[in-house]
Structure formats: C-alpha cells, structure tokens
Amino acid sequence: MSRASEKAYDTIREMIISGELAPGDSLGEEALAELCQVSRTPVREALRRLEAEMLIHRTDTKRTYVADWSLDDIADVFELRAMLEGHAASRAAERIDDETLSDLRACNARIGAAVQSSPPDTERFLEGNRDFHALILETAASRRLTGLLGALIEQPVIWRTAHHYGMDELRRSHQEHEELLAAFARRDPAWAQSIMAGHIRRAFHAYADAHRGLVAIDGARRNRAKRAKKA
Amino acid sequence: MSRASEKAYDTIREMIISGELAPGDSLGEEALAELCQVSRTPVREALRRLEAEMLIHRTDTKRTYVADWSLDDIADVFELRAMLEGHAASRAAERIDDETLSDLRACNARIGAAVQSSPPDTERFLEGNRDFHALILETAASRRLTGLLGALIEQPVIWRTAHHYGMDELRRSHQEHEELLAAFARRDPAWAQSIMAGHIRRAFHAYADAHRGLVAIDGARRNRAKRAKKA
DNA sequence: CTACGCAATTTTGTATACAATAGGATGCGT
DNA sequence: ACGCATCCTATTGTATACAAAATTGCGTAG
C-alpha cells in the first residue's frame, strides 16, 4: 500500500496492539483520520485491512470497534496455526532444496545466539523466529496457504506475549527448530508436520500459562487509560 | 457492504466467473467504474475484496489483473479445504446438539430428493450442499475458521465445475453426507473429520477428471469473447 | 413516569477533483 | 540502427465535498 494508507494502517494497528485503544473502543473514521494525519479515504482502507485481520469488528450498522479477544478466540488462532503451519512444514519437507536448508540452519543459528547471549536478546529472537517461519512458508510454495496464515500470524495478542517468554521457552523453541531441521534434512513430511504442530501448541500453552498474569497487567493498563481519559 | 460497493463487487465478480473477463485481462479502475455505473471509490473497495479472495492479482506497481488459476492452484484450494473443513467437521461433532443434527438430516434429505428427481435438480443440489456445509461450519463455532474458509469456498472455478457433476457424483455426495451424519450422531470427531476430508478430496478428483474437457470449453468461450471484441 | 416517534446531529458511503507516480513514446546522441 | 534520456499520458492514490443513513435526545402523549 502507499504512503498515507500504510501510515494509517500502521498507526491504528500499533495503537490497538499497544492497548492505547482498548477492546470495545469505538473507532470513528474522522477521529482516526485526524490521529493519523491523513484523510478519511486511506483510513477506510486501513480499517478494511484491520477488519480482515479481525483486529477490529464492524457492527451490522457499519460502526467499528476494537475487537475483543476471549481466551477461546486465542485458542482458536493457535489451533488453526498449528494445523496450517504443520501443513506448511509438511509441504516444505517435500520441496526443500539444500540451499534453503542451509539458510534455515543459519537462521536458527542466529536464534541460538540471541538466546544464549546474556541477557537473552528477545528482539533478535523474535526477528529470527519470524524469518524462520516465513522461509518455511515460502518453501511450502502455496499462495493460498501463505494468504491464510498471513491473516493468523499478524495477531496482537501473540506479539504482546512473546516478550514475556522466559529463558527456558526461548531455548525450547530453538531446540524444536533444530528438530524441524532434522526432519527437513531427511525430507520427512510427517515428521516435520508433527514437530511444527507441537511447536505451535506448546507456544499456546506457554501463552495460556502466562495469561492470568497478563490479564492483571492488562487491567492495570486499562485503568491507567481510563484515568487519563477522565483528566 | 452498501449499495454501490456491493454492486461493483457483484458485477466484477460475475464478469470474472462467467469468463467475460479472462485471466490476465487488465482492470482499470475508471473502466470498471463505468461498467458498474458507480464511481471509482466503491470500485476500489470491491477490488480490495476481490484481491483478498485472490480472484484478482495486483502487480508491485499497483496495476490489477484477473488472476490466473493453474491446476496446482486449484489443487491447493481443495487441499486446504479438505484440511479446514475436516477440522470444522471434527469440531462440529464435539459440539452438535440434537436439534442441529435433525436440521442437518432434513437438509441432506432435500439434497437426496434433488438428486433422485429426474432429471437431477443440480441447482437445488448445490443450494442444499451449500446449506449443509454452512451449517456444519456454524456448528464448529470458530469465527476464525469461518473466516478462513470463506476465502476458499467463494471460488469461481469450483462453481463453474459443479454444474458438470454427473448423476453418480451427486449420489456419492449425498451418500457421504449420510456417513457424516452417522459420525455426528455418534459424536465421533475423528470419524467426522475423515469423512469430510475424503468428501472434499473426492470432489477434487472429480474436478480434475473433468478438467481437460473444461479447458477445451474455456478455450472456446475465450475465443468467442475475443471475436466479440474485434467486432 | 414511561414509551413512542420525530427531528437534529453525528457518522458512514459515494462522487469528484486534484496530486503523485508509473509507462510509454519520441527524439537525440552515439 | 540501437540505446538512453526526457517529456507526455494514463492510471492510481489522496483529499474534500456532498448524500444517505443511523443514533441520540427531546418532546409529547398515553
């Protein structure tokens, strides 16, 4: 997308992810346009994209609100991701060439380095993780699959939690990636699929474990926002 | 969506599905606006939707063309549908109540009637089939899953072929639905999933078998369109 | 006091005008 | 004659003005 449109999308998205806009908040096009310093036209385009990604919700009367995510919704996303990324891993195992395999190895090596540095470099971990999964998805070579997963991986709740991973979680991820590489090296689709599905499901449980704590943090943040509004 | 936006979407979509716009054709916003009798604004919205559904394709330079579907692409769609609708069936089997079950039975009874009438009532079959699958999807109760499948089932190639189903294909579909109902009655998720995945995969092979013939028909239609353009 | 309905205001949808950008054509230089 | 640069045209992106629709609030009647 082009400049203004992208700007609106990024701005609104960031505000939702950061919690500046809380679930249930009403989103008027004009107000958003002013916030983003663009006109309503690109705002509308941004809202359509965000709606497709289910970050926002539109009532039958065309009014838009920040979407509310229940734990069930989040479980849904992880379940679908496990299935689709598992499928991607399977297809990748059938199609991968030696060059891509070594790229993938290099990528996971970077992840390992980020994990072992002290303190662990979470940013670099996340960056490597994104690259790793993206490369597998690309190797799976299915435009539809890429499209469907795109709608799932761009999710705020996931990014909000990733920063709370502990050292052990990070190490475990790195280890699972190594297993995945072994499966790819053997060109074993079923194995790759199993590892990947497990990898995602484990991530979900890590999330769910941390959830109660996060809810508390979330509550505090929202209260803060509420107080700010009053003033 | 509202009136003009919907009109543009329907018009363009219909032209693509009918083949009036052939794969690779360039789509200028202004030209489309005139065709649809609306301004460029709703046309742009329609194009975004069609892009999300992968009916059209946008180059890096923002120019839009009618998407080209290879057999691989189509195989992709069916593969993903098999996976996702299988998952939907599994979830539905866990959640279905007696009332929905009998609704589903009634729906398949209508399908059976459409198949057994002579000649088979393909329209009614397709309508019942849509309802049947939609009801299962609804019972699966996953908004994300519904969203993802929505992007897959609204595909032109599939509707274009459905009309070519033979009597035996229709009967087979009806029979597979019956098996699905049995799995639902027993609340057996794995069974339901297996039947559904097989159901979709069989449909793909029926499509692929008919494909060569369809390519010929397609070619004829395009030639006709080309001649029409010359005149 | 409540409930219903109408009107005023806010909000979204559509059209059009204007700006930016990509593609193509033409002409000049080698 | 071939290639490159520049200008012109065509197409897309953005802003704004206007129209339609919806919600809210007020007034009135039961």
Q: Kindly indicate the confidence band of residue A229, based on its pLDDT and cuts at 50, 70 and 90.
A: very low
Q: Are residues B50 and B155 located together in one domain of the fold?
A: no
In a domain, B229, yes or no: no
Q: Are residues B205 and B104 located together in one domain of the fold?
A: yes
Number of domains in chain A: 2
In a domain, B18, yes or no: yes
Asked if residue B90 lies in contact with residue B189, where contact means CB atoms within 8 angstroms, the answer is yes
Domain boundary among A44, A68, A92: A68
Supply B111's token pair: 């399908």
Q: Are residues A9 and A123 located together in one domain of the fold?
A: no
Q: Are residues A64 and A152 located together in one domain of the fold?
A: no
3-state secondary structure of A64: strand
Q: Are residues B103 and B193 located together in one domain of the fold?
A: yes
What is d(CA B182, CA B21) in angstroms, rounded to the nearest whole number?
A: 43
- Residue-number span of the structural domain to which B38 is assigned: 3-68
Contacts of A54 in chain B (CB under 8 A): 143-144, 147
Torsion sign (Cα): A213, A219, A222, A228: negative
Secondary structure (H, E, C), B129-149? HHHHHHHHHHHHCCHHHHHHH
Beta-carbon contacts of residue A222 (< 8 Å; ≥ 6 apart):
A19, A22
Q: Please, is B131 exposed, middle or buried when counting C-beta atoms within 10 Å of its C-beta (0-12, 13-18, 19+)?
A: middle
* Strand order, beta sheet including B26-27: B26-27, B64-66, B56-58
Task: Give the pLDDT of chain B (231 residues) as one tens digit per residue.
Answer: 788 999 999 999 999 988 899 999 999 999 999 999 999 999 999 999 999 989 999 999 999 999 998 889 989 999 999 999 999 999 999 999 999 999 999 999 999 999 999 888 988 999 999 999 999 999 999 999 999 998 888 776 666 666 778 888 899 999 999 999 999 999 999 999 999 999 999 999 988 888 766 566 665 665 655 555 444
**What's the pLDDT at B51?**
94
Count of alpha carbons within 13 Å of A85, Cβ hemisphere only? 26
Task: Determine the distance in angstroms separating the CA of A73 from the nearest CA of chain B, rounded to an integer.
Answer: 8
Domain boundary among A68, A84, A105: A68
Torsion sign (Cα): B176, B177, B179, B180: positive
Q: Containing H/E element for B56?
A: strand B56-58
What is d(CA A102, CA A84) in angstroms, rounded to the nearest whole number?
A: 23
> A76 and B144 in contact by Cβ < 8 A?
yes
Residues 43-62/B with CB within 7 Å of nucleic chain C are 45, 59, 61-62
Interface of A with B (CB under 8 A): 2, 41, 44-45, 48, 52, 54, 62, 73, 76-77, 80, 83-84, 87, 142-145, 147-148, 151-152
What is d(CA B200, CA B35) in angstroms, rounded to the nearest whole number?
A: 36
Q: Are residues B45 and B77 located together in one domain of the fold?
A: no
The CATH number assigned to the domain holding B18 equals 1.10.10.10
Q: Are residues B125 and B208 located together in one domain of the fold?
A: yes
In a domain, B228, yes or no: no
Q: What is chain A's mean pLDDT, rounded? A: 90
What is d(CA B15, CA B8) in angstroms, rounded to the nearest whole number?
A: 11
The CATH number assigned to the domain holding A205 equals 1.20.120.530
Q: Are residues A154 and A113 located together in one domain of the fold?
A: yes
User: B68: closest CA among B79, B48, B54?
Assistant: B54
| A28 nearest nucleotide via C1' and CA | C11
**What's the pLDDT at B230?**
45
Supply A99's token pair: 């060059």
> A76 and B48 in contact by Cβ < 8 A?
no
Residues 33-52/B with CB within 7 Å of nucleic chain D are 40-41, 44
**What's the pLDDT at B227?**
52
R_g of chain A, CA atoms, integer Å: 19
Supply A74's token pair: 């989040």
Q: Are residues B99 and B200 located together in one domain of the fold?
A: yes
Q: From the Cβ of A29, is strand D under 7 Å away? A: no
Q: Containing H/E element for B27?
A: strand B26-27
**What's the pLDDT at B224?**
58
Q: Kindly indicate the confidence band of residue A225, based on its pLDDT and cuts at 50, 70 and 90.
A: low
Q: Kindly indicate the confidence band of residue A230, based on its pLDDT and cuts at 50, 70 and 90.
A: very low
**What's the pLDDT at B35?**
96
What is d(CA B161, CA B164) in angstroms, rounded to the nearest whole number?
A: 5
Q: Are residues B37 and B101 located together in one domain of the fold?
A: no
Task: Determine the distance in angstroms separating the CA of B44 from the nearest CA of chain A, rounded to an integer.
Answer: 9
- From A2, A80, A143, residue closest to B148, measured CB to CB: A80
What is d(CA A80, CA A73) in angstroms, rounded to the nearest whole number?
A: 11
In a domain, A206, yes or no: yes
pLDDT tens digits along A1-20: 688 999 999 999 999 988 89
Q: Are residues A133 and A201 located together in one domain of the fold?
A: yes
In a domain, B230, yes or no: no
Contacts of A204 in chain B (CB under 8 A): none
- Bridging pattern class, strands B64-66 and A64-66: unpaired
Beta-carbon contacts of residue A224 (< 8 Å; ≥ 6 apart):
none
- From A41, A87, A151, residue closest to B148, measured CB to CB: A151
Q: Are residues B61 and B87 located together in one domain of the fold?
A: no
